[in-house]
Structure 1
Amino acid sequence: MKRPVLIATTLLLLTGAGVADADARPDRYQLPGDAGGSKFEGIGADERRGLFYVSEVTGGEIHRGSSGSAQAAEWLTGDGTDGRFTARGITVDALGRVYVAGGPNGIGTGRPDLWVYSPDGVLLAALRAPGADVFLNDVAIGPDGAAYFTNSNDPQIYRVADDGTGWTATRWADASGVVERQPGFNLGGIVLTADRGAFVVAQGNTGKLWRFDAATGAVSAIATGADLVNADGLLRQGETLTVVRNFSRMLATLRLSADGRSATLVRQQATDPTRVLTTAKALRGQVLYVDSKFDEPTATPPYEIVTEPVS
């Protein structure tokens, strides 16, 4: 009597029937928010565990969700927890450790500029970046396993790692002689190139892309011929680079060479006019975009991560 059941099950597996239902995921994810309004910016993805982390600008809370569940939850409290009153870029390394950029959290306050947490939410490090007026915006994991943070106030990148003697933050690259500081947000989004030999970094106020050599820190311009003003988050998938242009409400798609030395515009697409998207990460076949609520004086729910950004 069991043979027909086994045959039917085998046929389902071979034909793929039922696979879509088993792997069905939400097209948007709900974030918890504060009664007085919440705004969001960064997102990190843990591909191995199927988790994503979202940073809250208003208060510095960190929220965590699963690719299979529509409802995220507060993972780390804010409002002064570990000296964190705001949070910006966020990423996850191969060990599941979570790195959080503090934006202006430490400017004029003596508070930390960044934090590192274990996968279980244990604080591993709360660090000040060397220098003054440091606004850590976004973060990416380098080929050496360290985390590299961009500075939106000056054209600098900071390296954060535990190299065996404890966690440290050092100024890894200073491109002041090449990248001109402009009013507004300077260096922001950062991704590693396909050949893992360089970082591509966005300068949001000018719309320029810059290449930082991963071995030397040397910087050079990447010619795109494209309007990338308000470039915020970057997402690289193979040779495809997506530039999220927050208040321009546009997504730019470029073909990026493996070494990051050249980029060609493929298309520009208008995003949902009711949202200001800041950045994106890929997680198990989906691209997740942060709806920041930056356009609302007092943000109101729903607070969402979306998978369909185009209007």
Structure 2
Amino acid sequence: MTRSPRTTAFGALVASAVLLAPALSAPTAEAHPRPHQPTAYVLSGDPGGSKFEGIGYDRRSADFYVSETTGGEIHRGNVGRAATTEWLAGDGTDGRYTARGVTVDRAGRVYVAGGPNGIDHPGAPDLWVYDRGGRLLTALSTGRPNVFLNDVAIGPDGAAYFTDTNTPRIFRLARGRTGWQVGVWSDASGTVAQGAGFNFNGIVATADRRALLVVQSNTGILWRFDLRSRQASRVDTGSADLTSGDGLVLRGHRLSVVRNFPRRLVTLDLSRHWRVGTQVADVATPPDRVLTTAKIARGRLLAVDSKFDETVAQPPYEVIVLPLP
């Protein structure tokens, strides 16, 4: 594959530099690939332009899945190959006209958050689940009006938890004796103030089964949802700027926040009980890209170039590789 000018490098994260101050940024340069691993993955697009957002990763197969907001197609790639394919068609397939967050559970099932799919197409589903072979397992509406399911994470119980950008609610999807069921798991209306623009966005589950972490994009607040009480509390992140926080990546107690239009990647070290976050890095991402979400795949960070900064998106459409903070 011929490299495009857009695959210019994202700067190496030099620990001695990024630890100095919260606002300090490293030079922009993309990660050096391991042998036989691409530095970017090419996505197919529509003739009229395509835009992308979510990414899910299957550790067993090393496959990743990327959602297309313009049409709802789901693309699949593998970390060992630069080319990807359109895995699931959009434009109304299974009632899916757009797609946002994507994640994969231990069984290889792929969960897709529909964003405003049910708003723009009344009666259409808000979410979907597929098996590894692409067979539809369920397509459900939350049964609530004005729902914008933005991102999704698998909890320690194996259920999928979805953020709602239009309300301070977390929806839970699980398969029970009577089939797949979705409902409101937590409503933080009494704690979380809603504002204009995007509210709840990225979500991750902690490995110790204690909490879900959610970023509120318009305020830059990081919220901790206790998995037992279902109550929300604000994480003390000090002076860290998390506004426009989109995707979250958690590795141990180190949380990285992808800030889309500010083009920054902010990393925090979180305390034992996930109540305090100390900023350890704030680095620039490539200036010619608006990155949305990311996943760790075989020691590298795969980030989606959304094309949200282009009125009519133009190729190349890519998932790029960033160094792990």
Same fold (TM over 0.5): yes
How do 1:131-280 and structure 2 match up within 5 A?
131-225=144-238, 226-280=240-294
After TM superposition, give the deviation of residue 21 of structure 1 in Å: 10
Q: Which amino acid aligns with 1:28?
A: A
* Contact 2:301/2:323 (<8 A) preserved: no
Q: Does 1:59 align with 2:71?
A: yes
What is the aligned residue count? Answer: 291
Q: Does 1:72 align with 2:84?
A: yes
Of the structure 1 ranges 58-67 and 254-263, higher mean CA displacement relative to structure 2 is found in: 254-263
Indicate which of 286, 292, 304 corresponds to 2:306. Answer: 292
Q: Which amino acid aligns with 1:179?
A: V
Aligned mates of 2:212, 2:33 — CA distance in 1: 38
Q: Which amino acid aligns with 1:107?
A: I
Question: What is the CA deviation profile of residues 4-61 of structure 1, one whole-angstrom value per residue up to 9, with x for unaligned ones?
Answer: xxxxxxxxxxxxxxxx999520011000111110000000000111100000000000
Aligned mates of 1:215, 1:163 — CA distance in 2: 20
Of the structure 1 ranges 235-244 and 20-29, higher mean CA displacement relative to structure 2 is found in: 20-29
* Contact 2:33/2:39 (<8 A) preserved: no
Aligned mates of 1:53, 1:22 — CA distance in 2: 21
* Contact 1:130/1:171 (<8 A) preserved: no
How do 1:94-133 and structure 2 match up within 5 A?
94-107=106-119, 109-133=122-146
After TM superposition, give the deviation of residue 258 of structure 1 in Å: 3.8
After TM superposition, give the deviation of residue 215 of structure 1 in Å: 1.8
After TM superposition, give the deviation of residue 279 of structure 1 in Å: 0.8
Question: What is the CA deviation profile of residues 202-237 of structure 1, one whole-angstrom value per residue up to 9, with x for unaligned ones?
Answer: 000000000001122111000102111100000001
Q: CA RMSD in A?
A: 1.6
Residue aligned with 1:307, SS = strand
Give the structure with higher Rg (CA): 1
Structure scoring higher RCO (CA < 8 A, sep ≥ 6) equals 2
TM-score, with length taken from structure 2? 0.87
The corresponding residue for 1:8 is none
Q: Which amino acid aligns with 2:60?
A: R
Question: What is the CA deviation profile of residues 224-256 of structure 1, one whole-angstrom value per residue up to 9, with x for unaligned ones?
Answer: 021111000000011210000001111101001
- C-alpha change, 1:259 and 1:193, in structure 2 (3 Å) is farther
Aligned mates of 1:71, 1:258 — CA distance in 2: 40
Q: Which amino acid aligns with 1:110?
A: G
The corresponding residue for 1:92 is 104
Unaligned runs of 5+ in 1: 1-19
Q: Which amino acid aligns with 2:226?
A: D
Aligned mates of 1:94, 1:164 — CA distance in 2: 20
Q: Which amino acid aligns with 1:106?
A: G
Residue aligned with 1:103, SS = coil
Displacement over 4 Å in runs of 4+:
20-23
After TM superposition, give the deviation of residue 92 of structure 1 in Å: 0.2
Q: Which amino acid aligns with 1:97?
A: R
* Contact 1:57/1:88 (<8 A) preserved: yes
Aligned mates of 2:138, 2:132 — CA distance in 1: 13
- C-alpha change, 1:309 and 1:32, in structure 2 (3 Å) is farther
Question: What is the CA deviation profile of residues 140-161 of structure 1, one whole-angstrom value per residue up to 9, with x for unaligned ones?
Answer: 0001000000000000000001
- C-alpha change, 1:197 and 1:62, in structure 2 (3 Å) is same
Question: What is the CA deviation profile of residues 255-274 of structure 1, one whole-angstrom value per residue up to 9, with x for unaligned ones?
Answer: 01243211111121111110
Aligned mates of 1:21, 1:76 — CA distance in 2: 28
TM-score, with length taken from structure 1? 0.91
- C-alpha change, 1:265 and 1:21, in structure 2 (3 Å) is closer
Aligned mates of 1:94, 1:77 — CA distance in 2: 24
Unaligned runs of 5+ in 2: 1-31
Identity %: 60
